Structure 1
Amino acid sequence: MGKVIVLGAGMTRFGKYNDADLPWKNHEELGVEACLNALKHSGVNHQKIEAAYFGQTVTGMIQIGQRVTDMLGISGIPIYNHENACATSLAAFRNAYLDVKNGVHDIVLVAGVEKMIFFPKSKKKKEEKKDHSENSGGLLKMGSGGPIIMPEGMMFLQDIGVIMPAYFALIGRRHMEEYGTTREQFAKISVKNHKHGSMNPYAQYQNEVTLEQVLNSRMICDPITLLQCTPTGDGAAAVILASEKTAKKYTTKLVEVAGSVIMAGKYKASKGHFSSLASCRLAAQKLYDETGIGPNDLNVVEQHDCFTPHELVTYEDLGICKPGEGGRLVDEGVTALGGKVPFNVSGGLQAKGHPIAATGVAQVIELVWQLRGECGKRQVQGAKIGLAHNGGGIGPGLEPGLASVTMLKI
């Protein structure tokens, strides 16, 4: 088995492509833009691609990989389409990584594409929204990009109120109870990530926010306020993976995939300790064991900060600090740009945005750019090892449906 190199990385700006915030674009247009950017970054001709691995989640778009590759002029190759909630594209990434590592393919394309804004703002009509909802059989009521809502009786956790904001609010409240973590410490994570996002031209939100603005924004689920939630938006992200031998023909900047671990949440692994996510700890430890790289070696982390408590508990779950010390890391600036272990220098999901299926690969892209020294004002100086942390859904026993951690190094 040989080394796997991320040869090229490209994405669209994340945001609302609704003809108001950004010009309207559909799934295929977003996917093509990201893939072309990745191909350009790699220097690889599209006809060299031997297989493609795609992810798409919200709209259930059939064969998104074929739709995008057709527009790229790529055909006659294996194409794999994936769905794994918020961890969709990193699940695709891991399968691609293993195929290249095991010699099944030499050079491949991996992409996540998501369209969460269904109608152009300039053309949206009530009857269009109504028709779309009715045609979906009630399974998907997105309208102009609202939350996914399942009919009553189809999802028990939703029926009793355990949707994503409530889930992470429960974790946050438990952490406050056990360790004295404060609302201000959670809110400071949003301030930090929006500051990082202000330096990222691909971020959905490129404006800084103050602590007062975060704390005084509308309460969503105590202690989580509106500015501590990830926004809704569209976007696509793509990378080119290649064997080391092939990659050396194109670049001397070799960013290696040191390891990748995905696992479904272990049933009730966090029982009695809901100030943490045991499945994340298990996945991280497995990655550390496989790579021989530990938490003290990390230079930069892209983390799934869907809600601010998630980022704080991940400091502890990844072993960056001991349980209960996450708040201290926030106060001391350890996880901010310029700190010892910067988290979410891209802006994270909070500011960069969260087009669900594109998120995981976008995390990898930020790490690739960081390790190659290509991030400009938000560059982490001397970064050599990066970790992407991604979670998908809520599984049995209130564990993540999928926990994913990926390590890159130069």
Structure 2
Amino acid sequence: MSAYVIGAAMLPMGRYKNASYSGLAVPPLAAAIASSGITREEIGAVYCGHAFGGMLTGQRIVKELGIGGIPVVNVDNACSGGATAVQEAYRAVESGRVEVAVAIGVDKLTQFGGGTLPLVEEDPEVQIGMVMPALYAMRAHRYLHDRGATPADLAAVAVKARRHGSRNPYAQFRSETTIDEVLASRPIADPLTLFQCCPTGDGAAVVIIVSDAVRRRLGVPAIRVRASVLHSGKATAGFRDMLRPEITFDSARDAYEQAGIGAEDIDVVELHDAFTIAEVVYYEALGFARPGESLDFLRAEKATYGGEVVVNPSGGLLAKGHPVGASGVAQVVEIFWQLTGVAGPRQVENARFGLTHVTGGGISGLDHGSCAVHIFESVN
């Protein structure tokens, strides 16, 4: 059975120190329901992705709108939590279990007061000091060495992200920057500087997924879910190629096969650019550039407007922000706006196919803990 996104909303990413998780998520939840045309009574299941919200986060959110008595499932899958909630909502509809499902993504990172996010202390790499900026810095050094890239090349990714984000009223950073400013920003983990790392903050996003019968009855703008893939990492002892993230290569391959299209068909993508180096590596993993050719792809500006595929028109995590559990749903919201033609000054013209990609968490011995790839098609 086909499934469609018919409603989408999000909170502008930022710092909401006095807000609760419910306070963050209820406004976009109410907005998504209203825009979709469904009633609260029609909702058959709710899936809530978060990383740091505590017990029963989803139930605490939906009760504020009088929603209860239905399955409410909380999903913790690190940065993939929101995207996992989207997949669970899709599967609930696609299988025929429910006609209407809701995916919520929400997190509040200001609760930690700044710094790197806490990781699980039992992990052996965490015990010796591993944090995510350090992991990506090692990946960046390998890229600079193997591909002949320069720090300015990585800085160009941040420049593009800020340029795209300047058009997005939901982005945390809405001003453009230059390569010199990126390189001169505070060092975080060599060669990565502050502007090459996604900002922490708070946010929430919601999408409504329905059956074809509901879509046709309501007659509202919609996008079809063409593929929904979720992989977990595989334990690997010893050497790992840091420039070939297997979990994303495999997830993308399966998503394209499920959708019946190829990377060349994608018009717009929201990918996991938690650090500048991540975006460049994922050009290859998602099939937009051949292995070993991502530097040429970047330098030729093929990942922006006028290029081969518009990558992160929202500004991505680098500009929009990365409230962990919210990000995977926020990516789908952006693709919904793009494929229904309401993205305003950042609209990708004639966009038909969109892709979202997010990876979750660092675990010793794994490339990543999880990876979710979704492909959507405009139907209007």
**After TM superposition, is the score higher than 0.5?**
yes
Which residue number corresponds to residue 69 of structure 1? 62
1:184 equivalenced with 2:152 (yes/no)? yes
**Are 2:123 and 2:364, in contact at CA under 8 Å, matched by a contact in 1?**
no
1:263 equivalenced with 2:235 (yes/no)? no
Which residue number corresponds to residue 17 of structure 1? 16
Which residue number corresponds to residue 305 of structure 2? 337
Relative to structure 2, which stretch is displaced further, 103-112 or 328-337?
Answer: 328-337
Counterpart of 1:14 in structure 2: which amino acid? Answer: M
Alignment deviations for residues 273-330 of structure 1 (CA, whole Å, 9 cap, x no partner)? 2222111101111111111111111000101100000000000111111122212222
Alignment deviations for residues 4-57 of structure 1 (CA, whole Å, 9 cap, x no partner)? 000100010010013xxxxx3211111101101211221222222111111121
SS in 1 for 2:25: helix
Relative to structure 2, which stretch is displaced further, 267-276 or 166-175?
Answer: 267-276
Separation in structure 1 between the aligned mates of residue 73 and residue 80 of structure 2, nearest angstrom? 15
Counterpart of 2:102 in structure 1: which amino acid? Answer: L
Counterpart of 1:366 in structure 2: which amino acid? Answer: E
Which residue number corresponds to residue 35 of structure 2? 41
SS in 1 for 2:230: strand
Q: CA deviation at 1:249?
A: 1.6
Q: CA deviation at 1:253?
A: 2.7
1:219 equivalenced with 2:187 (yes/no)? yes
SS in 2 for 1:109: strand
1:390 equivalenced with 2:358 (yes/no)? yes
Summarize the alignment of residues 2-401 of structure 1 with structure 2, pairs less than 5 Å apart: 2-18=1-17, 24-58=18-52, 60-118=53-111, 142=112, 144-149=113-118, 154-268=122-236, 271-401=239-369
Give identity over the alignment, percent: 39
**Are 1:269 and 1:399, in contact at CA under 8 Å, matched by a contact in 2?**
no
Alignment deviations for residues 335-381 of structure 1 (CA, whole Å, 9 cap, x no partner)? 11232201110010001011111000000010010000010100000
Counterpart of 1:394 in structure 2: which amino acid? Answer: G
**Are 2:124 and 2:364, in contact at CA under 8 Å, matched by a contact in 1?**
no
SS in 2 for 1:14: coil
Separation in structure 2 between the aligned mates of residue 269 and residue 160 of structure 1, nearest angstrom? 17
Counterpart of 2:197 in structure 1: which amino acid? Answer: C
User: Structure 1 pair 271/250, CA: closer, same or farther in 2 (3 Å)?
Assistant: farther
Separation in structure 1 between the aligned mates of residue 164 and residue 199 of structure 2, nearest angstrom? 16
Return the TM-score normalized by structure 1: 0.89
SS in 2 for 1:54: strand
Separation in structure 2 between the aligned mates of residue 180 and residue 83 of structure 1, nearest angstrom? 38
SS in 1 for 2:329: helix
Counterpart of 1:307 in structure 2: which amino acid? Answer: F
SS in 2 for 1:363: helix
Q: CA deviation at 1:240?
A: 0.4
Counterpart of 1:339 in structure 2: which amino acid? Answer: G
**Are 2:116 and 2:132, in contact at CA under 8 Å, matched by a contact in 1?**
no
**Are 2:234 and 2:366, in contact at CA under 8 Å, matched by a contact in 1?**
no
SS in 1 for 2:369: strand
Q: CA deviation at 1:104?
A: 0.3
Counterpart of 1:147 in structure 2: which amino acid? Answer: T
The alignment covers a number of residue pairs equal to 378
Separation in structure 1 between the aligned mates of residue 23 and residue 180 of structure 2, nearest angstrom? 39
Counterpart of 2:39 in structure 1: which amino acid? Answer: N
Return the TM-score normalized by structure 2: 0.96
Separation in structure 1 between the aligned mates of residue 119 and residue 164 of structure 2, nearest angstrom? 34
Separation in structure 1 between the aligned mates of residue 240 and residue 154 of structure 2, nearest angstrom? 22
Aligned-pair Cα RMSD in Å: 1.5
User: Structure 1 pair 212/174, CA: closer, same or farther in 2 (3 Å)?
Assistant: same
**Are 2:144 and 2:150, in contact at CA under 8 Å, matched by a contact in 1?**
yes
